Amino acid sequence: MGYEILEHTADVKFKASGDSMEEAFSESVKAFSEIVGGMNGQTTYSIEVESESHEALLFDFMDKLIFLQDVNDVVLSHAEHLEIEELEKGYRLRADIWADNIEDSMSVLDVKGPTYSEMYVRFEDGKWRLQVVLDI
Amino acid sequence: MASSGSARHINVKRVHSQSFSMELNKISDNIYEIPQEGQMKKPARVYANEKLLNEIKGDDTLEQIKNVATLPGLEKYSIVMPDGHQGYGFPIGGVAAVNKEQGVISPGGIGYDINCGIRVLKTDLSYEEVRGKEQQLANILYNKIPCGLGKGGYIDTDRDDLEEILEKGAEWMLENGHAKESDIKRCEENGRLPGNPEKISEDAKKRGRNQVGSLGSGNHFLEIQRVGEIYNEEKAEAYGLEEDQVVVMIHSGSRGLGHQTCTNYLRKFEKEYPEIVDKIPDKELIYAPMQDDLAQDYKEAMYAAANYAWANRQAITQGVRECLDRIFDESVETELLYDVCHNIAKEETHEVDGEEKELLVHRKGATRAMPAGRPEVPEVYRDVGQPVLIPGSMGTASYILSGGQKSLEISFGSTAHGAGRLMSRSQAKQDYWGEDVQDELKRDQIFVKAASGSTIAEEAPGVYKDIDEVIKVSDALGIGNKVAKMRPVVNIKG
């Protein structure tokens, strides 16, 4: 369980892992938060994402996190109660995302979008592992 | 891989990287070509000198221009410019012209930041008049122009305004008192493309609501510069530039609204065309055939996002004007030199094998560079050629070129867009301290203000390619010719 920020020439890349897919996805929020300059989390937002595959779910999840920051003027902190449910066609993710308001003195990185570049979500060596490149 | 020899290929080199080797033929100085093979519809070209080519070989750029060459309806060849580096699907610095009827449109060929671009505002100030006021200028610009995330926009816009901005772009700014008539006339496309606000999602509109007149972060910046060397007196005069004149360069795009639009259509295309996803080498290269409704929807959405970007850069311009008025007691005259996109697809007519063709020219991290006489060049510059605005990195020179005659022949009227990154942000933070970089630049009379030291470290001059080399190639190829060089004075970033 954990995450790691990786080298990328133009943008940012990270990987995350966990005993369950839920845990790996939760870790990805911590990685995201470290990249943008997040804090402890004062308020929560409930989100829901539905997608056709594991990778599409991760892509849409990242998209949702970026959207959440942009429209609420907040910086993300971490996820709680993250659940992934298998549907007839695809997956549904629900989570509570903790965030803080952006103050004038704060410097928050503006993320443009998620990418499919080098993305994976897989079960390997007894753990769920994922990797994301974000366009900044 | 098979070699396809031709009499014109004067030198055959093989490039080896971690995962592939490929044939790369030197066509002439600064022009290299990967011959057509496999799924490629046309060859792929690299415009670079040996030094830049070696840097380009360091990542997947060459593989990516080969992938771009597989696009249906591609004309002549896929191209990467001298500042090229690896991107998503397309390389940054990529140009792909496809047939407007039989071709395809690819969001990856335009980029997440639709109509990311550069504008240069001329002033009647000389460098002498600015000296001693640099820190004051850095402070006021940084306070007035929102940078980074969550700081709002320079002008207030409600939902109705946003709809109109998406439709009218810079024209809305003029109608609402945020622009001068000459700002619009000196903007690519007069700051307005036929965009359709209805093709932009609600989510994208929510992201765009409060960001008109904001720089964003990453490599976006606002820079006060002084004109250094003039290379072409006649063109500099036509552009209204002289040595030691102070100008302002603005680098920003369509902000969250444009980014969300790209993301939305990538996913729409992915869901609509599973058979295309299966055959393309990289999902980010996803495209839609031009005759399909979805392709037209994306085109209209992309144009609407482009309109937003023009309104954004215009709003920042108004912010700059307010700051200059405050510091110099309303005595400064400003006039837009030009505003040019470097992430966009445009419908243009080009001659291909002696035949006039209607094309869709994707430019991703490449700048339009039309020579004198072309209808796309604003009337005031039609006899000298379109101004081409190329930023350097923080602390290094930027350039103004003019569209070169050769650009129509070899690059669909395009040239480079900047210096291009060489080093990752995390490596940059290990190699540089923001404060040291800032102090060093200050010793050279360059004042930098950013949200944090790490922003400065990430954008340190050493993490980019040598802009002088990039410009040398553009000039030598005759696709964009040197007019003037500008040196940074004050730089602010998100």
Average pLDDT over residues B219-236: 96
pLDDT tens track for A84-131? 999 999 999 999 999 999 988 888 888 999 999 999 999 999 999 999
Q: What is the mean pLDDT of chain B?
A: 93
User: Do residues B288 and B104 lie in contact, with contact meaning Cβ atoms separated by under 8 Å?
Assistant: yes
Provide the pLDDT confidence category of residue B461 given band limits of 50, 70 and 90. confident
Nearest CA in chain A to B277: A116
Q: Does B459 touch chain A (CB under 8 A)?
A: no
| Res. B13: pLDDT tops 60 | no
Q: Is B434 helix (H, G, I), strand (E, B) or coil?
A: helix
Annotated catalytic sites of B, by residue?
Answer: 417
Q: Nearest by CB to B260, from A6, A67, A73: name it.
A: A67
A102: DSSP letter? P
pLDDT tens track for B107-119? 999 999 999 999 9
Average pLDDT over residues B278-302: 96
Chosen for mutation from B106, B147, B149, B308 (greatest number of chain A CBs closer than 10 Å) is B149
Average pLDDT over residues B28-34: 98
Q: How far is B242 from chain A (nearest CA, A)?
A: 34
pLDDT tens track for B239-273? 999 999 999 999 999 999 999 999 999 999 999 99
DSSP per position, B126-161: EHHHHTT-HHHHHHHHHHHS--SSSS--SS---HHH
- Tell me the whole-structure pTM to 2 decimals: 0.94
**pLDDT reported for residue A1:** 66
Q: Is B251 exposed, middle or buried (0-12, 13-18, 19+ CB in 10 A)?
A: buried
| Residue-wise burial string across A119-134, b where 16 or more C-beta atoms lie within 10 A, e elsewhere | bebeeeeebbbbbbbb
| Res. B4: pLDDT tops 80 | no
B contacts of A66 (beta carbons < 8 Å):
259
**pLDDT reported for residue B149:** 81
Q: How far is B214 from chain A (nearest CA, A)?
A: 11
C-alpha R_g of chain A: 14
**pLDDT reported for residue B18:** 43
Q: Does A87 touch chain B (CB under 8 A)?
A: no
Q: Does B84 touch chain A (CB under 8 A)?
A: no
pLDDT tens track for A20-43? 999 999 999 999 999 998 999 999
Q: Which amino acid is at B427?
A: Q
Q: How many angstroms separate the CA atoms of B327 and B334, rounded?
A: 14
| Residue-wise burial string across B30-42, b where 16 or more C-beta atoms lie within 10 A, e elsewhere | bbbbbbbbeebbb
The answer for A 99-128 residues in CB contact with B (under 8 A) is 101-102, 104, 106-110, 112-117
**pLDDT reported for residue B52:** 95
Q: Does A50 touch chain B (CB under 8 A)?
A: no
Q: Does B494 touch chain A (CB under 8 A)?
A: yes
**Cα dist from B460 to A133, B225, B297, B430, B486, whole Å:** 22, 17, 40, 12, 18
Q: How many angstroms separate the CA atoms of B78 and B93, rounded?
A: 11
**pLDDT reported for residue A97:** 98
